[in-house]
Each structure stands twice: as structure tokens, then as C-alpha cells.
Structure 1
């Protein structure tokens, strides 16, 4: 019994000693400055500002910065400046470091964060001070951080204000191959009224007529809730080209203007369908593009090259976060900024002078034209006539004006160079080239053709091939067949080739294939289904009728092998893209190309394109008339074509089409327009 008691007392003593030792260890194991800093940093990165203020800041810090300043200011700045991903690290002290409660513990902390203006990274010295705090009957010793506003942002002082501003960028400009401006950042006129000086109500009607708005619209602008008698109230923005209108407007008391930055299109209607225009971003566009930084205030490419090149032309605004000291007139001091990045300036292969010459020569008639360099494939002109004023759309076109343009029978908003048309006889040189290359068509071998119509045999029923010039000499060779544009000759040549051979030949010239071009333009087609289902359709297709359609740019390209000896190039439109990329090669031998070049010159000299027979420019080319069949027995619309180049200096090939030439004008009317354009272009070079 006595032995058991001794063992029990020994165990009890051991237990009490163990508890006493544990208690002493807990009491003596005070946190080190580094351990407290680790806890503080973890809370800092989690934005636990309230807990930090309550448990981790020094007495001096709390005395100098009330809770609402410390907590509210940090939270507000984080919201306003979009501060995220706060990361704080520190330089670890040496292992043998001994901490004295009499001295502050100093640490170098590395602070980084993401902001609306980009990343911010800076270093700070942070002091941990030892303090003894009493809370009622309890006393606590610990290390606390000394803090000031420069821990929020570098250099920030207590009374400094913080701001954020946008650094505007510029949209890239578009020029032609010679640097001539096509779409540039210019300045216009912001026309406005100062109500207290605009006292004659009769002048409202004059202003409305000059600006193309209504009197009701002017009243609506002047009656906005924010308007005061001495305020400038904007009515409309006008381009710099409207200087005469501005001068008439400011003669009226109370009407004035301010300079306004705006996009300018110096070549106006002549390049409108190609350059397109910019306009206010739509809700649908914003929904798709908001993630790319677009806002509801942005202008965006809406049509043409402005739209196609949007990603390259678009500028990216910068952002600056700055602080401003309380002194009057203090200069804002940048803290961090992302610089603005201007859009890219882009040059097109277009020759704006040639483009305008072609457009002007068409005199507003509905049609289209294209010009290409036969040695590189560069696109020198793409015209759709009539055009429209891109500035109208950029500034915000009225519904009434848009309706008027939409209902115009000449269809100025319709982009004709993006469409395809029956090419008529302008495709006959291609038919000839196909036949010569396979050896079926022998240029010097004549065909004996009589009468104005022809059919192979009675199996054709009522279908017959007609020709316009039955006086063409027999036997009819290729040269005279092109001069007289003889449908029967080319129909017989196509029949001799056979349907599939002819189809294969057209396919080798790009028919039925997407044209490799930066713009979305219609492909040329042999027929609706790519097939030729009858001999009659084969005959029609040989001279560009039936269901054949050709894009105007592609039509100009098809003459490249004739000029350069067999190659068709991929069409290029940007100066910084590769030129001279071969699309189709080996289409025509040099000998056969020479035969066609001679005949196309003879078409102008001896044939029915006399308006292009200029005394000083040796034009070669081929006319074409395509009839669009009308219902019943009536005569349908006829579109006229002319494809031409300077035979002595073939630096460009022009293809032109004018709609509705059926009123006895004929395709020579188109040849005259093309010739006028060439002469005008040379005068202005």
C-alpha cells in the first residue's frame, strides 16, 4: 500500500512539473517581428483592412490615421483605380538576427499590384515596433507595423489627391500608294448656337436649311435641361470641306463654331465604297467587342477598309494614375501610366489619282471599274459608281437622308465592284486563249460563216446564235473575229473544244473559285451549278452570256496573262503585303499571248472601240455587251464593258462596266469613258 502511494505521488509530481514547464514555455514564447510581419502581409494581400487596423498597426499610426481614413481610403482607391492582385514579399533577415524590443525591426518589403494604368511595383522600408498594451486588467506585448499612405501607392502623402485620366490615342490613317491621304484624322466644324445671342427666330429656318436639319431638331437641342443662355449648344458637326456653309452660318447672330477633331475622306465619293467609313459603335458590336476594350463612346470601322483593317487602325488609349499635392497650382505627378498606342498607318496599292479619274469619267452613271498591275497583281483602282459621301455616315446620317439614298434608282449605296455580272464579249479573248493553248483554235485558220444567225443543226430547235456584224469578211480568222466581236465564231470554237474542255479552261482562269483578296468580293461563275448542260449553253458561255458571271476585278486580272505572257497574280491591296504572288501560271504561251495582244490593238484601231483610238496612247482592248433577258419578248437591259491597256506601256489594265447602255450608246460608250479616264489620269500624274 505504501509503495503504491509513493508511485502515485511521484506521477502526480511529474505531471505538475510538466504542466508548469508547458505554461512557462507558452508565456515566454513571444512572436518575433518577422512572424508578426508574415501575418500582417497575409492580411494585407487579402485586403483585410479592418483586422489590420484593429490588431496590427502601431499606436502612432492609429493616432495619425483614423479608421475611416485608413479603411475607407484604401477601399475607395482600390475600386477607383481597379487595384487587384496585390502581392507583398520581404527580404528575410539572417538566421542569427537578434531582435531587441528597444529598437524597431526594419524590413524591406516589395509591393506590386495591377491597376487600371498597368502594373505598379515599388519597395518600402517597413518598421515593426514593440509595444506593451493594456486592456483593462490584461497586458499584451507584441510587434506592430508603422504605416503611412505611401504604402497604398508610391510617394502618396496624407493630403494628396489621387486621380486617373485617359491618354487618348489616334486612329491610324490610310493613304494610297503614293502617300496621298484617303482616310485621315482631320478637323471639322462643330456648329452651335448661343441662345442669348440667337434672338431672331426667323434665323432657325435658315440654319436648318444650311445644316440639313429641321427647326424642331434645333428647338430640341436648345431646350435641353442643361442649357443656359450663355452656353454653346451643338447643333451639327460639318467637315472641313463645308467652309463656305460655315461662313454663311456665322454671319447669323448667335451662330458660331468650334474646331472639332474628325475623320476626313479627301477623295469623297470616288473612294467611298472602298474606304468605307467609321461610325459610333452599335450595341450589337459592343456586346461582341467589350472584352477587347471597346466602350459605348468609341468609333469603329463600319464599312470598307475602315472595317476590314479595324484591328490595325484602331488606337488603344492609355491610362495615367497621378497624385496631386494640396498646394494651389500644384502639378500632377504621375504614379504609373500605360502610354497610349496609336493605330497603324496603312498604305493601299490604290492609285487615288487613277481611282478618281475613273470615277469622274463615269459621270455618276451606275457601273464599276477596276485597274490592276499586270506584272505584280497590285490593285490600282476599285470603283463603284455612283458613290456616297462617307462623311455623312461618319457624322450620323439622318433617317430621311438614308431613306433617300436607299430609294435612289441609281443605288449609290450598292457596292458594284463586290458583285459579279455577265461579262459579254469582254470574255472572248479568254475563250480564244483556252482554244489556242489546247491546239483547237488556230488563229490564222478562218471559218466560213454566213448570215446574221447560226445553229449547229435542227436539234437546237428555236435557239440560234446571233451576230451583230454579218459583214465580217470570210473566211473569218481570230483577228477579225475579235475586231467584229463575232459570236458565231466563238460559239463554233467552243463547240469544237467540247463542254468539259472549255469548263476546265475557264476553271484554270479562276472561274468557280474564291478570289484570294482581302475584301469579300463575289466569285466569277461558269454557271449557277458550275456545269454546262447543253450545246446552246456552251455557245452562250463562249461569249460571256448564258449563266456566266464575272467580277470586275477578276475580269481585269484575266487579261494579265495576255499582257505578261501567261501568269495571273493574286490581287493585292495593301502595300505591306507580298506582291507578285502567282495565282495561276502557264495559262498562255508567249506566242499565243503575242497573237492576242496584236488583235486587241486591232480591235481599237480597226474595230468598234473607236472612241479609245487615241492619237498619243496606243490602247488595246475588248468591248463587250451583255444582255440581261427581260420577261416576254421585250428587250432587256444591256450592260457595256471595256477592258483596256496601253499596248506600248502596259503598266495597268482597266476593266470598266456601265449599266443600261441599251439606248443605242453601245459598248463604245464605255470605251470612251475609259479613254477619258486614262487621259485625265496622265494629265494629273
Structure 2
């Protein structure tokens, strides 16, 4: 008997029928969120054809309705796999790979010798590891279905299901494995390549249960005295420790992590004066090792070598939260990923985090890889190199650490920001090692506000603002270099007329002759109050807006906008007069003020401040022609004398080997004009006049609470200390 020839049937008129189904939905979406687009010829038959059933099956798949998918299986398939196992198998695979945007293209159908009708189709879908695409075939078989009256129907098509319907080559005992190759987070470096944030080592304190003292009556079956000692040394409750020890995975030889501590700096211990905190850490770890079962081992962590000296600048990372995952869908974050929370870690999160490598493969029950369905290679995060000079950053912190202050340091030739310092501060390593609730509460309740990032805020500039008023006066022509305002400006108390009531502008020193230069040297409030009145409110406001007031500073870090009034205009004569010497409602950010001071050595060009390092730094103008070269030179010559003149308020910063230009400022912070309980801010803006120095420096410092405590002299003395370290005096030959 001859073998019956296999029949093949194409269900289209002139050629093969092509049916395209696009399911544009994530499998986790609700059924209402799935979209199905079908184009096919009408069959003219009551029962659904195999291609239509495959379309329906995929529609249920898009909605995550695995039970409905199961209903389309033939009787034998349902005997082979239970509903529960079918639902679990499909859900675990499709949702595990985050399948989405599934697209099938039906190539045609053919009838097989066993009476089944096969549907050939191409499947394409998105996944965690990119696009997956494959050709597949699924068989359908006519099956008699009992009707409502108990009689059997003529038959309906049902799917003959096997695991390869999910993926070709997927066997019954095979699994679909998603593996992740974690990307290394990029480092943050200073201008010289020194580490500000990156890979470091910490000490992991753990417990080995099999080596601990046992006591059936003790917490968790362990010796209470040992657990209490451990609790006291680490600041973790006994309950917290026993909970870790009772985890399901823990065995007698397991190392159960309890807490991570700073790594002991062995080199520092050899120094003449070892760091006290390092000595205490060493003593703590030595005592911990006397408790039975305690083991201390090295562990890799994100490390911040400068700690509190650069915490507000560098920031820190933390583990992602559910809210983070919801906010950053499809960006590669896993439940145990970290994310930048503040500072440079947050600002450059996208560049630093990198892209995890992901591989989706079919593996046998023995773990052998059978077929790679899709893969994305790992891409480590970028290193970010900043213009920051670690040595200068530390020097400034050390000088100001006992005060509430902030300092901005720039290269006045290029606009590079060399340091951004905030005191007091916090140790960002504590966020990596694990900060106790007590420590977090103490930081937030500390009246000195160590968590406050002052160099992003704005403050009343006081007399450090007078050079800006001088520039506007010179630019408008309202004030000339020899302006003396009628020879009466040298008094120590002044008001325009009786309409000011009891309000007077006061100054500290009389001097002669009265002119712009001496007004800056002696820091005369009355002179600049009169200058502001003569310039006029409209021209003052116009001049300030030209200098970036009420605008964003073009800087990588977002800082507070400068203002000249709490309203849209300077409303009164008194407010205008006070604005002339940096009071009234005048507020400015230290980065902004430092940038404005670059106009003097750069003869009228305000440089744009920047943080990203360039191999060949070139100045970039923020405000071109902010003033004429001649006017910039007039102000700069006066600022040089503020430091060099024995009468100058910045004279204590004077050096014989380097010409410095600067201006002090003391700003009153009080609730009203009559408030006698307010505090004062002390300012000092100072820079090296010679831009051709190997390491030119411009520094603006603000110190809080200097009333009856030295005023701006506090900032002057501490700035002098920093300059002498950064630009050491040359030894005599």
C-alpha cells in the first residue's frame, strides 16, 4: 500500500494568507490596557479558524489572562498539564522576562497528515534583554465539544499545546533563566584624578552561629550576655540581631551580616598623630573580636574618601525604593540597585549608574545553557572628573569647620570651580554603612543645621556687594571715581530728610577725601546708600538684572536665584538706599557673587562657573560686557587697596609676595529695623589679581553668627589661612 501523501492547504485566494497581529501592551497590564489589531479575510464559517484562535490566544496573553489561554487547549494538552501548572509556567516566564509589545505575523496554515492544522507565524517581543524574535508553528485539532443539550457538536478547533509554544526548543523540564551582569558604578574624581566617590573597602561585622555560645534560655537560643555586649557596641537591638540569626537561609557555618563599619586605616595608625576616630574604630573592632562567633571581613562598598569635608558637594547613594522604581521604569534599576540621592551622585546619576548586562536563555534542568534568546552587554558607568581640587576643598573645610559657613573657590582665569564647602557637615559614608535612627535624628535636630547645603542658598551680601553698586554707578554715569556727594558723606550717621523718620544709615569710619575708592577701602555704608539713590531704582534694577538677578545661574548645580526685592520692584527710598550696600531685601547666592567678581580681573566679562573638568580649560563668558574695561580696573584698584591699605577692612589678608584684591561684608539679619536681637553674616570675597599665576584663586566665604564675634574679620582670617596653604610663600633664595 502506497504511503498517503501529506496534504498542504493554503487558506488564501491568490497566494498565501498573511495575518499580522500587534499586541501593544505589557503583560502586567489589565485587559483593558491591551490593544489588538487584526487584519484577515473572513472565513465565512461559524467556528473559529486556527489563525483566529491563535490571535485570541495572544490577546489573552497580552491581558495576562492565562486561565482564558488554558481554555483554548485541546483535551489531551489539558491532561498533560494542569491549569495551575500552565498558569504558573506562562506567568513566570513572560512576566519574568518582562515581555511587552508582542507582535505576531501569521505566515500561513497547512494541514497535517494527522488531521491537525498548523499555523506558521513569526513572533517578535520586547524583553529585559532587548528584542526576542523567532519563527514558530502551533497545531490545532478539531475536537467535538458537548453542547448544552448534551449532544456533541460537529467540532471546534483547539490548540495542541507544548512548552515550545512559548519558545521553540523549550522543553518540558527546561527553564527560562534571566541573568544579570551588574554594571560597576562610575567614580567621581577631582581635577587631579583623586577619588571623591568610588570603590572602597569597609569592615563587615558578622556572626557565625556555630561558633557562638549557646543558651537555650537566651534570646534565639544564644548567650544573652554575648548578644547584649554586641548590641551595646554596635548600637543594634538584641531583637534585631536575633532576627538576622533566625533567617531561613542561616546555617551553623553561615556568616550572618550584622553591621558594616569603616575600614581601619592602617597607614594612619602609623602617623605621628593618628586620627582619633580611626583609633576608636580600631579599638571597637578589636573588642568585637573578643565575642565568640564574631567575624570581621573586608567588603566592597561605595566610598567617600573626603567624608564630611565634601559631603554636600559629592552627595551619597542609597538603595532604591518602590517609589524610585515607579518613577524610573525601564531604566534598568533592580530592587537592590542604588541611586544617587544628592550632590554629584544625584546630578550625574544617569552617567554614573551604567547599564546592567542582561541575558535571557533557555537552560536544561541541569543548568546547561541551551539557547540564548536575547542579551544586552554590560556597560559600566562613566567616571565623572570634576574641576574640584581635593587639597583646597580639605583646606577650606579645616579652616572653617568650627563655624556655620559656606565657601566657593574658583579659578578667576577660567571659571573652574575649585571647591564648594559647607560647614558644619555630615559624613556621607554613614549613609553607605548604615545610619542609626538616633544619628539621623541628631543630625536633623542639630541647631547648626549640618544637613543644610548653604552654598546652594542665598544670603544678604552686606558690604561685599558694594563693588557691584559701584560698577552700576560707573556704568550709568551716576557715580564718578571722585564722586563725594557734597562733602557730607564722611559723617557716621545720615538720612536723606525728615521723611525717613527715625531711620538713619550708619557707618563706622570717617575718612578723607570722600570718593569711590576710599568708600570701598573704609566700607562706607552712607556713600553707597547715596550712590544707590542717585542711580535710581529703575537703573539699579536694570543693572542688577543685566548681572543675572532674578535669573538662573548657568551652573551644573541648581542654586537659588539672586533677588533685589521680595516684590517685583524696590519699593521705597529707604529700601533703595539699603540695597546700595547689600542690605534691604538684597539676597545673592555665593556662587553667583563669586562669578560677578570675575568681571574685575577679566575687565568686564563675567565668567560662567563650571564643574566638569576640561583638559584645556578656556574661559566661557556668562555675561559679556558687563562693564567697560576701564570701570572694571577702577573697582579692582580699589579692591587691591581694601587689602593692601592699613585702613582697608581686608588688610589682615595682605601678603608681600602676591597681590590680592578683595572686599569684606557684614550683613545684618534681623526681623525689623528696630530688632536688636538679630545676628550678622560675615563675608570676604578675595582673589589673586595676577591671572597669570600658576594657580590663581578667587574665594567667596560667608560665615554666620559673627555679631560681637569679630564680624567679617572671621572670614578674613580664615581665608588668609587657606590662601597661604594653597599658594605658599616662596622661600628666600
Same topology, TM > 0.5:
yes
> What's 2:668 paired with?
627
Match of 2:256 among 211, 227, 233: 233
Q: What is the Cα deviation at residue 88 of structure 1?
A: 5.1
> What's 2:36 paired with?
none
My pick for the range that moved more, 390-399 or 67-76, is 67-76
What does residue range 167-566 of structure 1 map to in structure 2 within 5 Å? 167-199=181-213, 201-222=224-245, 227-240=250-263, 244=282, 245-246=284-285, 248-290=287-329, 294=333, 296-325=335-364, 330=368, 334-446=372-484, 448=487, 449-470=489-510, 472=511, 474-566=512-604
Q: What is the Cα deviation at residue 214 of structure 1?
A: 4.0
Question: Does 2:118 align with 1:117?
Answer: no
Match of 2:681 among 639, 643, 646: 639
Quick one: structure 1 residues 569 and 66, their matched pair in 2 at CA, closer, same or farther if it must change by over 3 Å? same
Contact kept, 8 Å, 1:491 with 1:538, in 2: the verdict is yes
Measured against aligned partners, the alpha-carbon deviations of 1:186-234 in whole angstroms (never above 9, x if no partner) come to 3433321223423364444553444343445434444556655443322
> What's 2:104 paired with?
87
Measured against aligned partners, the alpha-carbon deviations of 1:227-284 in whole angstroms (never above 9, x if no partner) come to 5544332221234467735455335331113444432222211221122222233444
Contact kept, 8 Å, 1:611 with 1:669, in 2: the verdict is no
Write the distance in 2 (CA, Å) between the matches of 1:233 and 1:129.
54
Q: What is the Cα deviation at residue 445 of structure 1?
A: 4.8
Write the distance in 2 (CA, Å) between the matches of 1:368 and 1:665.
17
Q: What is the Cα deviation at residue 678 of structure 1?
A: 2.5
Contact kept, 8 Å, 1:41 with 1:88, in 2: the verdict is no
Write the distance in 2 (CA, Å) between the matches of 1:236 and 1:603.
54
Quick one: structure 1 residues 586 and 40, their matched pair in 2 at CA, closer, same or farther if it must change by over 3 Å? same
Segments of structure 1 that go 5 or more residues without pairing to the other structure are: 1-29, 56-61, 94-98, 132-139
Q: What is the Cα deviation at residue 70 of structure 1?
A: 11
Q: What is the Cα deviation at residue 409 of structure 1?
A: 1.9
Write the distance in 2 (CA, Å) between the matches of 1:252 and 1:661.
50
Segments of structure 2 that go 5 or more residues without pairing to the other structure are: 1-5, 18-48, 59-68, 143-153, 214-222, 265-277
My pick for the range that moved more, 266-275 or 231-240, is 231-240
What does residue range 101-140 of structure 1 map to in structure 2 within 5 Å? 110-122=122-134
Contact kept, 8 Å, 1:604 with 1:621, in 2: the verdict is yes
Q: What is the Cα deviation at residue 107 of structure 1?
A: 11
Question: Does 2:640 align with 1:601?
Answer: yes
My pick for the range that moved more, 344-353 or 675-684, is 675-684
> Secondary structure at 2:601's aligned position in 1?
helix
Q: What is the Cα deviation at residue 646 of structure 1?
A: 0.9
Quick one: structure 1 residues 530 and 642, their matched pair in 2 at CA, closer, same or farther if it must change by over 3 Å? farther
Bigger-Rg structure (1/2): 1
Q: What is the Cα deviation at residue 565 of structure 1?
A: 1.1
Contact kept, 8 Å, 1:44 with 1:52, in 2: the verdict is no
My pick for the range that moved more, 670-679 or 418-427, is 670-679
Quick one: structure 1 residues 171 and 43, their matched pair in 2 at CA, closer, same or farther if it must change by over 3 Å? farther
Match of 2:180 among 148, 166, 169: 166
> What's 1:58 paired with?
none
Quick one: structure 1 residues 682 and 208, their matched pair in 2 at CA, closer, same or farther if it must change by over 3 Å? farther
> What's 1:15 paired with?
none
Write the distance in 2 (CA, Å) between the matches of 1:438 and 1:571.
27
Q: TM-score, normalization: structure 2?
A: 0.75
> What's 1:649 paired with?
691
> Secondary structure at 2:600's aligned position in 1?
helix
Q: What is the Cα deviation at residue 391 of structure 1?
A: 2.2
My pick for the range that moved more, 265-274 or 248-257, is 248-257
Contact kept, 8 Å, 1:572 with 1:579, in 2: the verdict is no
